[in-house]
Structure 1
Amino acid sequence: MSRFRQITYHATSQTVDLGAGLLWDDVYQALDPLGVTVVGGQISGVGIAGLILGGGYSRKSNQYGLSIDNAIEYELVSPDARIVCVNNMSYPDIFFGLKGGLNNFGIVTRFTMRAVPQTELLPANAFSSLRSRLSTVSITRFSINLLQAINNQLLYYNSTLGSKPGAWFQITVEPFLPTYFDNSQGGAYPHVPSSTPLLPMNIQFAWALPSDDNVFIDGIKSVTKAIRQAALADCQDVGGSKEILYPNYALEDTPLEQITRSRKPNDILSMQETETTSMETTYMETQQLHSSQKEAMKKIAEFSGEANELDIDEWLFDLNNLFSLMK
């Protein structure tokens, strides 16, 4: 996907077309001279596709909502190699699913995002890459008791694991306002307007050596559990079915139901299966149109630079098997 790197600003409609292979660094650098930006990522080196499809908390979220609330249209490659434009009018169910449903509904090659004003940027420093994991706890407020519990966890792990090579512990208290879901456009990731919206806490552990993987991963899981218990002890209503975790911060083994609490997980899976069945029917009808599929892949290649016949055949093979992967 790294060849999908187009950035097109439409001044009349105040929208920006973004190729799925871009990093947020590329997007901000290109849009900065134009005095506009999009509601996107906060960390250098992050790709745009995963963040948008997972929800997209941003430094602009207090003003404009999440990234998915500012996505107007998606260009999607379906399992039968069709290239379709997905918006709220053309394919409303898929449009809903792409708003927080990650990459479970096809291959997104382009995002059309709403442009918002941007003043001069002051870039942050970059540093060498480390091994790391993210985790999260959703809370309703940062009370003194909860902040003290967070500080105690940081002090403990700094004293027990701080001497490990590259050790780094971070629990980010992000300054989101209670109104930051007021611009919600709905989607598979639950985020409805509320007087006490859930605030995602970004918990991150980093380290240098593969041999330390288990001890740091176990550590971040213990921290997550301790902070969740502290929030419950603080009388915050975030337990059981009220707990909704932000997928882009959640650990990779997080159960689906902890991300889609306000919709039954079976509803999300059923929606995916319904759309997959529809695409499968079209796919079966076009199995004998291999040349047409290859033509579709050539159209994709036009966006992604030069591609030889072998490249196209490989991409076609991947798409022909996407249906089975989606199941």
Structure 2
Amino acid sequence: MRRTTLATALLAGIALANATSNATATCHLIATAISDESALFWPLSIGYAQDNLHWATSSSALSACSVEPGTAQDVGTILQILGSTQTPFAVKGGGHATNPGFSSTSGVQIAMSRFSDVTYNSAAQTVDYGTGIVWDDVYSALEPFGVNIIGGRVSGVGVGGFSLGGGYSWLTNQHGLTVDNVVAFEIVLPNGQVTEVTRQSDADLFFSVLGGYNNFGIVTRITAKAYPQGQVWGGLRVILDIGDNWDAFNNATVKFQAEVTDPKAQILPSFNTLVGAPVATIIMFYDGPTPPAGIFDDFLAIPAVDSDISTRSFLSLVQSSPIASTTRAVFNTVSLMTLSPALMKAIVNETQFWTAKLALASANFISYDVEPFLTSLFTHGSIQATAYPPTRAQGLLPLNIYYAWGLELDDAFMQDAIRQSAAHLKAVAIAEGQDIADAPVYGNYAVLGTSVEDVFGDSLPRMRVTKQRVDPNNVMALAGGWKV
């Protein structure tokens, strides 16, 4: 038995060494082929470290080299070399993916950081933005013009995977998902061709990329609708689990989701355990300097240990809730139709149950984020307009579960735990009558191992036909992600 184990380990080591050697040879090919506007970095350099760094260290890997393309043409050159040598690679935008291997690799790491321009086109009322930045950069660039686009809700989230996966925003109740507001994008196809895509120029590719991530090539620039943006009201409140605070918090959340129909008003309630201490937080948002009377009163009446509520810029509100860098992390999700007192209680119970159990597995943060959008959130896009959501027949509320921990040896345990928790909460929702047994899940929250059928559903046939047309040699399968 021991000989078999040693032999297996030896063969695995040889395979890894050969793969690393092949990837290194590919790195040398890329280094000689790219223009001066791009750069390739080797291990131990600062550029290499930055290119491989992810928000969650469990999502990082040690690549053979990293490359920062500076032009779309160089992206095409790189893709052609990777395809011809069959070298594994990864594409990293903001580096916020929590699934290992989705934007990291032991092969060639492509970092999109040089695609960082943000340009407001006042005549067309659109914004062009590169895919290598975070939403803070976009909001900061647009603030002087008094306009905004549909993007992330908290600080530090990358624009690339967010925009190509769906995109839930503070402005979603008014204007839909990010994918609903994209009017064009520049994509580099696996054969090296740089092309501008609109719904009119290539309806199938436009549909497939919006929600379909990196299955079809590398997107370098996105053009999205712009909307007027003035000051907003809101911020973060922190509430301890003392007395009936959390019962009041639950009741206020259920009431808000059931009764508040103003599309300018949103909330993001969350149940957390930070280093063993239970705490609820809520980010309140109103798209205007002053909310109508009464909308947020139930939340404001609950005693808080910290409160940062004010009239402020949109950027200020987003940056009031930073996503701090962490050690190891995993997300998972459940798609819900509505919130009920019983479901909210079940979420609180899950927080408490897994806090106790995961404390033995180096857990340092547990979070259950409830996202009560209006159920009309999918009506802003036409039927089957984008790969995600694969159906717009009913609005779905994406519950986000997030665990963070310290030790690599706990990875499998934590991932298994978050799968169990999501399955339990889904069962609770189904038992109370929610028709979500086959509901699609949001890919940006879904844990590794989720089937692509669960993410893309009825969109898959159209996506696969398009995939065969634009990537017949399956070059993009050399990179990680939700592969169709």
The two structures have a TM-score, normalised by structure 1, of: 0.80
Give per-residue Cα distances to partners, 1:197-218, cap 9 Å, x unaligned.
1211111111122232222212
Give the counterpart of 2:207 among 73, 77, 96: 96
SS in 1 for 2:378: coil
Q: In the alignment, is the contact (CA less than 8 A) between 1:138 and 1:238 conserved in 2?
A: yes
Q: Which residue of 1 aligns with 2:466?
A: 271
- The answer on 1:40 being equivalent to 2:151 is yes
Q: CA deviation at 1:166?
A: 5.4
More relative contact order in 1 or in 2 (CA 8 Å, sep 6+)?
A: 1
Query: Which residue of structure 2 aligns with residue 61 of structure 1?
Result: 172
User: Within the alignment, does 1:139 sit opposite 2:340 as a pair?
Assistant: no
**Matched-pair contact (CA < 8 Å) for 2:207–2:386:** yes
Answering whether residue 216 of structure 2 is matched by residue 105 of structure 1, we say yes
Which consecutive segments of 4 or more residues in structure 1 shift more than 3 A? 125-128, 162-166, 191-194, 321-327
RMSD: 2.1
Q: 2:457 is paired with a residue of what secondary structure?
A: coil
Q: Does 1:218 align with 2:371?
A: no
The TM-score normalised by the length of structure 2 is 0.55
- Specify whether residues 48 and 173 from structure 1 end up closer, same or farther in structure 2 by C-alpha distance, changes over 3 A only: same
Q: Does the 8 A contact of 2:139 with 2:148 survive in 1?
A: yes
Name which of structure 1's ranges 229-238 and 157-166 shifts more when overlaid on structure 2.
Answer: 157-166
Q: Report the CA distance shift for 1:324/1:183 in structure 2 as closer, same or farther (over 3 A).
A: closer
| Match of residue 109 from structure 2 | none
What's the counterpart of residue 451 of structure 2? 255
Superposed displacement of residue 189, structure 1: 1.0
Cα deviation, residue 31, structure 1: 1.3
CA contact (8 A) 1:79 1:323 kept: yes
The equivalent residue for 1:322 is 475
- Counterpart AA for 1:108: V
- Deviation of the 1:12 alpha carbon: 1.4
Query: In structure 2, what residue type is equivalent to 1:46?
Result: V
Return the offset for 1:160: 2.1
Would the aligned equivalents of 1:99 and 1:187 in 2 still touch at CA under 8 Å? yes
Residue in structure 1 matching 2:141, options 30, 33, 48: 30
> Hey, what does 1:285 align to over in structure 2?
none
Question: Aligned-pair distance for 1:141?
Answer: 0.7
1:176 to 373, 382, 397: 373
CA contact (8 A) 2:131 2:160 kept: yes
Please tell me whether Structure 1 or Structure 2 has the larger radius of gyration of its CA atoms. Answer: 2
User: In structure 1, how many angstroms separate the alpha carbons of the residues matched to 2:161 and 2:477?
Assistant: 21
SS in structure 1 opposite 2:183? strand
Residue type of the alignment partner of 1:273 = Q
Mapped partners of 1:106, 1:128: distance in 2: 29
Q: How far did 1:100 drift?
A: 0.5
User: 1:255, CA displacement in angstroms?
Assistant: 0.4
Give the equivalent residue in structure 2 for 1:234.
432
Structure 1 residue 187 corresponds to structure 2 residue 386: yes
- Give the equivalent residue in structure 2 for 1:301: none
C-alpha distance in 2 between matches for 1:209 and 1:25: 30
Q: 1:267 to 1:10 in 2, by over 3 A?
A: closer
Which of 217, 232, 245 aligns to 2:441? It is: 245
Shift of 1:52: 0.7
1:272, distance to aligned residue in structure 2 (A): 1.2
Contact 1:181 1:191 (8 Å CA) reproduced: no
- Cα deviation for residue 248 of structure 1 reads 0.7
Paired AA for residue 110 in structure 1 = R
Could you tell me how far 1:163 is from its partner in structure 2?
6.4
For residues 451 and 392 of structure 2, what CA distance do their matches in structure 1 show? 24
**Residues 147-156 or 202-211, more deviating:** 202-211
Tell whether the 8 Å contact from 2:333 to 2:400 is kept in structure 1 after alignment. yes
Question: Which structure 2 residue ranges, 5 or more long, are not aligned?
Answer: 1-111, 232-312
Letter matched to residue 113 of structure 2: S
Structure with more strand by fraction: 2
Tell me if structure 2 keeps the 8 A contact 1:135–1:203: yes
User: Residues 191 and 178 (structure 1 numbering): CA distance in 2 closer, same or farther, change over 3 Å?
Assistant: farther
Deviation at 1:154, TM superposition (A): 0.5
In 2, Cα distance between equivalents of 1:192 and 1:255: 17
Q: Which residue of 2 aligns with 1:78?
A: 189
Matched AA of 1:230: V
Q: 1:140 is aligned with what amino acid?
A: M
Asked whether the 8 Å contact 1:190–1:262 carries over to 2, the reply is no
My pick for the range that moved more, 144-153 or 40-49, is 40-49
Between the aligned residues of both structures, percent identity stands at 38
| CA displacement at 1:271 relative to structure 2 | 2.6
Question: What is the CA distance between 1:86 and its match in structure 2?
Answer: 0.2
Measured after TM superposition, the shift of residue 164 of structure 1 is 5.4
2:396 is matched with which residue? 198
Q: Give how far 1:38 is off.
A: 1.0
Deviation string, structure 1 residues 218-275 (Cα, Å, up to 9, x no partner): 2111101111111111111111xx3210111111211011112233x34422231133
